[in-house]
Amino acid sequence: MRRSGLVVWAALRQVQAVARPGLSTVQLDQTVREVFDHFGAQGVFEGYPGRTPFPAVSCISVNEELVHGIPSSRVLQDGDLITVDAGCRYQGWCADAAVSFIVGTPRPATQRLLQTAQQTLRLAIQAMSRAQRWSQVARQMLQFVRQQGYWLVDQFVGHGIGRHLHEKPDVPNVPPKPGNPRGEFLLQPGLVIAVEPMLNTSTKEIRLREDHWTVVAADGLPCVHVEHTVAVTDQGVWVLTGPPSTEEERRWLRQQGFSHLLGS
Ligand code: MG
């Protein structure tokens, strides 16, 4: 699953490297597709069942779009906040991650929202290494987001992941109500989950667009979704969609032709 996670990392990193005002979101989706193809990995979003099957390899959501945005001819403008969410199956195992970033010149308000979302995901990953149960992690996420003055969307959940993109358990971003067993589970070695906080600016409410995929913030204001695939192991928590962290992983990515993503 780590190799699959590195493929997703490379695809999202490549998108960030090429994204700029003037490109369309479908061009960014094409970049994700090229990276997956290069590794011989299969995108697991394309064809995902819905009212109509999802038509692209990645979900690209701009500004007030929160999740499941369909890549299109929409052209990125200076200062747009975009989320690119992608998942693949590589040698039989899946990984799923989302990055958010600002194209061109950031506006302070948007940047603060983005940074808060990134901090929320980091906080959740750190909390996973200490907590026994998921609800303890979700409680910390909710508390942090509210302290920062934003809203955590509770109508979508993260998920277990493995051979398939969506497996048990559901991974809610807010703690379950007392007495509700759904959304509570033990954080024990062997568990792999996609952790995916979604932050809105002034409400937790969302709406579904007429395309039956794109979810937008009900306040029409910028919103952010960030995600990592995270494993609980005997040695601690492992971010499977994080950047390469060993010489062996860097060597593999260089051999695959991605040395330009590795920095100096
Ligand atoms: Mg996911």
Residue 177 alpha carbon to ligand 1 centre in Å: 23
pLDDT at 72: 97
Domains, the chain: 2-261 (3.90.230.10)
In 10 A of CB 134, how many CB atoms?
A: 26
Residue 202 alpha carbon to ligand 1 centre in Å: 23
Beta carbons of 57 and 7 less than 8 angstroms apart: no
Average pLDDT of span 24-40 = 98
Q: Per-residue pLDDT tens for 61-93?
A: 999 999 999 999 999 999 999 999 999 999 999
In 10 A of CB 219, how many CB atoms?
A: 17
Residue 185 alpha carbon to ligand 1 centre in Å: 18
Average pLDDT of span 38-61 = 97
Residue 128 alpha carbon to ligand 1 centre in Å: 17
Q: Cα 6–12–13 angle (5° rounding)?
A: 85
pLDDT at 176: 86
| Confidence band, pLDDT 50/70/90 cuts, at residue 264 | low
Residue 251 alpha carbon to ligand 1 centre in Å: 28
Residue 194 pLDDT greater than 80, yes or no: yes
Residue 87 alpha carbon to ligand 1 centre in Å: 8
pTM summary value = 0.97
Question: Angle 2-18/247-255 helices, nearest 10 degrees?
Answer: 60
Residue 219 alpha carbon to ligand 1 centre in Å: 23
Residue 159 alpha carbon to ligand 1 centre in Å: 6
Residue 215 alpha carbon to ligand 1 centre in Å: 14
Q: Which residues in 13-161 belong to E strands, given as ranges?
A: 42-43, 58-62, 65-67, 81-90, 93-102, 151-152, 157-160
Q: Per-residue pLDDT tens for 213-261?
A: 999 999 999 999 999 999 999 999 999 999 999 999 999 999 999 999 9
pLDDT at 177: 83
Residue 75 alpha carbon to ligand 1 centre in Å: 25
The chain-wide mean pLDDT, for the chain, equals: 96
- Residues whose beta carbons lie less than 5 angstroms from ion ligand 1: 96, 194
| Lookup: tokens for 150 | 């934003």
d(CA 62, CA 71): 10
d(CA 233, CA 190): 6
Residue 1 pLDDT greater than 90, yes or no: yes
**Phi-psi domain of 233 (left: phi exceeds 0; alpha: psi -120 through 50; beta: other):** beta
Residue 197 alpha carbon to ligand 1 centre in Å: 10
CA-only gyration radius of the chain, Å? 17
For 247, the 3-state DSSP assignment is: helix
pLDDT at 88: 98
d(CA 117, CA 141): 10
d(CA 223, CA 153): 10
d(CA 144, CA 152): 10
Residue 122 alpha carbon to ligand 1 centre in Å: 16
